[in-house]
Amino acid sequence: MGRLHRVVLRKFPTSRCVNRYSTATLSSSARMMSLNARNRISLMLTAFVVGCFIFGQASHTAEKDVSYSKFQIWRITPRTKDENSNFFRAIQSYETEIWKDITTGTNTEYTFLVPPQIQTEIKRKFNVANVSYVVEISDLQTAINEENPVTANNNSWFLNSTFDNNKTAHRMDWTSYHRLDDIYGYLDYLADTYPKIVQLINIGASYENRTLYVVHISHPSSIPDTKPAIWIDAGVHAREWISPALATYIIHQLVEDPANEGLLLSADWYIMPVMNPDGYEYSHVKNRLWRKSRSETGSRKCRGVDLNRNFGFQWGDRGSYADPCAISFRGIKAFSEPESIATSNFILKKSNLIKLYLTLHSFGQAVLIPWGHSATLPSDYGDMLALAKSATSTFQHYKFKVGNVAALFYRASGNSADWAKSIGIKYCYTVELPAKGFILPASNILPVSQDFFSALDVFAAEVATLHV
């Protein structure tokens, strides 16, 4: 899944964009030639059109909002090797962006973005080659517009007034996606209202100087730094909005529902709801499908580092890119980014206590187990697999796959879960939450969150048995 690869469309008329992205195009095309043993073609390309669109418009012409009008999301699961080859042959002369490839057994499902200009021609090629596909989203901009309906809480000065006047009010709910101010306002509210349970820790600042917060949640009776701890981070990738929404739901449940006291007795919790606040805001105001951070790179025209390729374990290896215009740009060195270094420094200080590392992403409905940098498995892979299977078996609304990231998805060097495993954290997972092409109507926040929250009982019970 989640191949963030571009395919450059050479058929497109020459424009400023062609020249601007020709280097990325060539290197991507070269990568496209290498097939792996399972015939899962390593299509490491970013669409010329999409590249132009996402990198050009979104990063270079930052003042202009990006529209995805008439862009479509297609899904295909080739049934045979021939169909698989026909699919790649049909799209390889274009440049489209494959967002996900998820492998189950011998089948791989590809989800990809199809810009309007190439839809007719790709359709014709698929028909000729007998490749069947499903149009999952027929107009991406419409799906974006309908994703997060305006409510009193996410678009007004309305503050939740059911609370004591002496306390800070907040605008948070889990029926809409919220801007960073609302999320941070809620964290302030919690720290103010529940000082015996919640400690809001400022661990540094983002590239654009937004505060990076970790919420420490512990039982009032806990003696500091004596219990096994659980770390959860979210919002690493800007466009994966369900991730901070779930993280704040977890915070809400742990802090505000006394029925969850047992979870605080089992473990201490460190939750970072938005690791990439600059990208998150950018995805709200400029480009809904922005993924990276917003730091300036060596390239004048392309901004942002993929924070999930910037962590310092096997940094720079397969599945990460040196090209600042690539969607999985790894940065100029490991931990080059203020967001990843602040996070890792904090985790290192607590690494003897943290027994479970969860990083929330979307999409794909999968719990991914290291390693992502190589196809080998950690020696205790079996323990991680068993715990994740048992935790996700509780889900009522969504079915999740569990497995090694390189097998279910693709290689991803410098990802945070690999790094967490490398520093000795016992259970490390990347969670890919549900969405369709990164878009998930806000009405799904609660069902996703309720499912996932139920898994925490299983995770916390295991963590509680481990020595610190």
For Zn ion, the binding residue among 60, 125, 237, 330 (CB under 5 A) is 237
Q: Which is nearer to ligand 0X9, 149 or 378 (CB)?
A: 378
Q: Which stretch binds Zn ion (CB under 5 A): 7-15, 229-237, 244-252, 343-351?
A: 229-237
In the region spanning residues 232 to 271, those forming contacts with ligand 0X9, defined by CB under 6 A, are 237, 240
Q: Which is nearer to Zn ion, 153 or 206 (CB)?
A: 206
For ligand 0X9, the binding residue among 47, 91, 412, 439 (CB under 6 A) is 412
417 binds, among Zn ion, ligand 0X9, none (CB under 5 to 8 A by kind): ligand 0X9
The set of residues, in sequence order, having a beta carbon less than 8 Å from that of 234 and lying 6+ positions away, is: 243, 244, 246, 247, 271, 272, 273, 274, 275, 359, 360
Q: Which is nearer to Zn ion, 97 or 240 (CB)?
A: 240
Q: Which stretch binds Zn ion (CB under 5 A): 107-115, 137-145, 357-365, 403-411?
A: 357-365
Bond from prior residue into 371 cis (ω within 30 degrees of 0): yes
> How many Å apart are CA 32 and CA 49, to the nearest integer?
17
- Indicate the residue type of 81: K
Instruction: Find how far residue 330's CA is from the centre of its chain.
Output: 15
Q: Which is nearer to Zn ion, 84 or 287 (CB)?
A: 287
Choosing from 97, 337, 339, 432, the catalytic residue is 432
User: What string marks each residue from 357 to 376 as x (binds ligand 0X9 by CB under 6 A) or -?
Assistant: ----x------x-x-x----
Q: How far is the CB of 236 from ligand 0X9 (least distance, A)?
A: 8
Say if CB 107 and CB 2 are below 8 A apart. Answer: no
Rounded alpha-carbon distances, angstroms, from residue 349 to 162, 235, 345, 346: 38, 22, 6, 5
Q: Which stretch binds ligand 0X9 (CB under 6 A): 246-254, 340-348, 391-399, 409-417?
A: 409-417
The set of residues, in sequence order, having a beta carbon less than 8 Å from that of 106 and lying 6+ positions away, is: none
- How many other C-beta atoms lie within 10 A of the C-beta of residue 37? 6
Task: Give me the DSSP letters along 408-464.
Answer: HS---TT-HHHHHHHTT-SEEEEEEE--BTTB--GGGHHHHHHHHHHHHHHHHHHHH
254 binds, among ligand 0X9, Zn ion, none (CB under 5 to 8 A by kind): none
The CB-nearest residue to ligand 0X9 is 372
Q: How far is the CB of 17 from ligand 0X9 (least distance, A)?
A: 24
> How many Å apart are CA 230 and CA 354, to the nearest integer?
6
Bond from prior residue into 335 cis (ω within 30 degrees of 0): no
Q: Which is nearer to ligand 0X9, 77 or 175 (CB)?
A: 77
Q: How far is the CB of 127 from ligand 0X9 (least distance, A)?
A: 30
For ligand 0X9, the binding residue among 147, 268, 418, 462 (CB under 6 A) is 418
Active site residue 95: no
Q: How far is the CB of 368 from Zn ion (least distance, A)?
A: 10
> How many Å apart are CA 248 and CA 186, to the nearest integer?
9
Say if CB 400 and CB 367 are below 8 A apart. Answer: yes
> How many Å apart are CA 309 and CA 47, to the nearest integer?
20
By the criterion CB under 6 A, which residues form the site for ligand 0X9? 2, 237, 240, 308, 361, 368, 370, 372, 405, 409, 412, 415, 417-418, 430, 432
By the criterion CB under 5 A, which residues form the site for Zn ion? 237, 240, 361
